[in-house]
Structure 1
Amino acid sequence: MGKAIYDREDQLNYLKQRLSMFLEVLENIDPEETSLEDIDRLIGIIDELETKCEQFKKREEK
């Protein structure tokens, strides 16, 4: 794992990059060929983004 990000701008850039990557994957998925495993991976990415948002929010509150 990488080091913790405490700078608010770096946190926002990280989240924007991850969201952009997610959207790119989503745009390139062929609905006819998408498996349950693919959907599970997408849900996992969303869960990771949510976790990061919560971590960043807690760091900001300190």
Structure 2
Amino acid sequence: MGNAISNKEQQVTYLKERLHIFLEVLDSIEPETTELEDIDRMIAMMDDLELKMEQFKKLSE
């Protein structure tokens, strides 16, 4: 695994990159061919992003 992110600037950069990845995945999805597994994967990505935001929030308190 990588190094822990403790710097606020690195945290914001990390979250922006993850959100960008999510948006790319969302843009690439074809509604006609999207399966439940694809939607579940996207929900998991958002859950992971939310968890990371909460972790960063606790570190900065």
**Following TM superposition, by how much is the alpha carbon of 1:59 offset from its aligned partner in structure 2, in angstroms?**
0.5
**Following TM superposition, by how much is the alpha carbon of 1:2 offset from its aligned partner in structure 2, in angstroms?**
2.3
**Following TM superposition, by how much is the alpha carbon of 1:54 offset from its aligned partner in structure 2, in angstroms?**
0.3
2: CA distance, partners of 1:2 / 1:48? 16
Between the aligned residues of both structures, percent identity stands at 61
The higher-RCO structure (CA 8 Å, 6+ apart) is 1
2: CA distance, partners of 1:2 / 1:19? 19
Q: Calculate the TM-score normalised by the size of structure 2.
A: 0.96
The one-letter amino acid of 2:20's match is S
Task: Report matched runs for 1:30-41 at 5 Å.
Answer: 30-41=30-41
**Following TM superposition, by how much is the alpha carbon of 1:5 offset from its aligned partner in structure 2, in angstroms?**
0.5
2: CA distance, partners of 1:2 / 1:46? 21
2:7 corresponds to:
7
Q: Calculate the TM-score normalised by the size of structure 1.
A: 0.94
Poorly superposed stretches of 4+, deviation over 3 Å: none
